[in-house]
Structure 1
């Protein structure tokens, strides 16, 4: 491959995946329901040996189109805040089960309760349906309403990939109570398919430019992509200035890397003091791979430390 190279540990994981997934189609070329089933099965391998927590509770929140499944993950010891975690998957795949281990590790490392939320998925439910669901859960959480009554602040919002996009869109929504901080992991923030990272990593490994284009086509047609709540890098300077403190990370071998780099550069140019960490030698979605990849475990530790640092928790 051209561009950045996988670390030895990442290369070993990629070799394993090449064997385990041999013959499987690109899930973005399948009907959405079939692609979801394939993604769910693929993520089962990362959700083993789940870390122990003080409690795990499944709850429903009344959403615009029906109940929204959420999971409240409480770490051992006093929880020093609450984080709404929004899962990735191209706005179309994955759920709170596919991201269970990652959410648990975030709770442990941040020493905070994590609320992992579901939302309606594209293409059946394109923008703004999924965002509206996230806003509904966030509204209940910030109001300390059932089933979230009793959860402590400070409050943060977090997400990976498309989940980071939805977390940013939530903060850019008019009239929304702002979190105390946000944790945005290798997020989708723009539609520039000719950015440096899209060119370097167009063919993967893992996420490719073509896959991202299909996800975008499912989620938001061309006419919606100038909306900052669809592509947060389109937000005005004034709106970016109003955001709470942010922690961003990115994977070096990722078509989306430039999205995070460019967002951080814009924030810094505005005189803000946000944080950004580039994880070398790893691919998009690496934070799912905590059972086999040290860089994934380190990413959760860094994110948890950032939460505690930004909230003095």
Structure 2
């Protein structure tokens, strides 16, 4: 992070960012620079402008140390997450020793579906605060209660600590569904990036009660292979090749663990038991190809899956709710799929009960 970025309050930078996005289109294009096209995809003008402004400000998500990386992600999110979304009550919980935060939309009747959400951040960064506004958005727009999980982070707690906490939180939610005023038969799992990894792994390892839907934003699903998208988009598009190695070295330093399905869920032999899935990738994301390979394997094994590539976006777009419009639209699309998936799960339950 540059001295300029460090010396300017986040609120001031956020205001400047909103001002830049409010400029006339010709001026925005001038600041963003010439269009960027890679692999037949054109970077969306709003995505390009945001990356350019990040570069000009010196605001960067760095990997010098876990502490600095966590601070950088927090500050970066503060710039783009937008005003706090109202219409939802929020309280802290302990899910069998795992920290959590519970979101309840105002006037939502009891017996609603629940989304258990795992934040991204490379298993090293991110927390309940970094994804707070995203969880509020998912709760309000999705008409669901949301349980956000504060799983343990690496390197203090390496693999499989995060996966263990993710499963513990899900099992706790199932056991305490009545207390949470949710329907235990309609619990979905979701997450972004490393959180998407944890959601998929938790679904794979679920016991008697299984999640009914998976909501995955650009998940990390295979640490064993380097795919083409990592070479194409490993520099200049927020998540870099260097950062990916750094995160993995902290979370799973043992190479043997890279083929463990609790990390590389794509390598699991049988994925047929996973629930219907909405999986979104970003065109300019090093993780793009592994996410799409996971969707293809789900489809091959008979799992209903919707794969949606947003060709002009980059990794991390789900947290960008406060500037531009294309990022928020992409998240809203995912919420629509969540609503549909949960409604279909409810219909299946009704059919089974009357059969």
With structure 1 as the length reference, what TM-score do the two structures score?
A: 0.91
Matched ranges for 1:98-177 at <5 A: 98-144=130-176, 148-153=179-184, 154-173=186-205, 175=207, 177=209
Rg larger in structure:
2
Deviation at 1:229, TM superposition (A): 1.0
Q: Any unmatched runs of 5+ in structure 1?
A: none
Show CA shifts across 1:204-224 (max 9, x none): 311112211111111112111
For 2:48 and 2:206, locate their aligned partners in 1 and report how far apart those are by CA, in whole Å.
43
SS in 2 for 1:187: coil
Preserved contact between residue 96 and residue 116 of structure 1 (Cα < 8 Å): yes
SS in 1 for 2:95: strand
Q: Any unmatched runs of 5+ in structure 2?
A: 1-35, 347-355
Preserved contact between residue 158 and residue 251 of structure 2 (Cα < 8 Å): yes
SS in 2 for 1:138: helix
Preserved contact between residue 204 and residue 253 of structure 1 (Cα < 8 Å): no
Could you say which residue in structure 1 is the equivalent of 2:42? 5
Matched ranges for 1:226-237 at <5 A: 226-236=259-269
Could you say which residue in structure 1 is the equivalent of 2:9? none
Could you say which residue in structure 1 is the equivalent of 2:65? 31
Aligned: 1:56 with 2:66: no
Could you say which residue in structure 2 is the equivalent of 1:40? 74
Aligned: 1:197 with 2:197: no
With structure 2 as the length reference, what TM-score do the two structures score?
A: 0.80
Aligned: 1:15 with 2:47: no
Deviation at 1:54, TM superposition (A): 3.4
Aligned length: 303
Matched ranges for 1:269-284 at <5 A: 269-284=300-315
Deviation at 1:45, TM superposition (A): 1.6
Aligned: 1:243 with 2:310: no
Deviation at 1:305, TM superposition (A): 1.4
Deviation at 1:53, TM superposition (A): 2.0
Show CA shifts across 1:36-86 (max 9, x none): 1222222222344111123111222332xxxx3211111234253110010
Higher relative contact order (CA 8 A, sep 6+): 1
Could you say which residue in structure 2 is the equivalent of 1:222? 255
Preserved contact between residue 88 and residue 140 of structure 2 (Cα < 8 Å): no
Deviation at 1:174, TM superposition (A): 5.8
For 2:273 and 2:302, locate their aligned partners in 1 and report how far apart those are by CA, in whole Å.
12
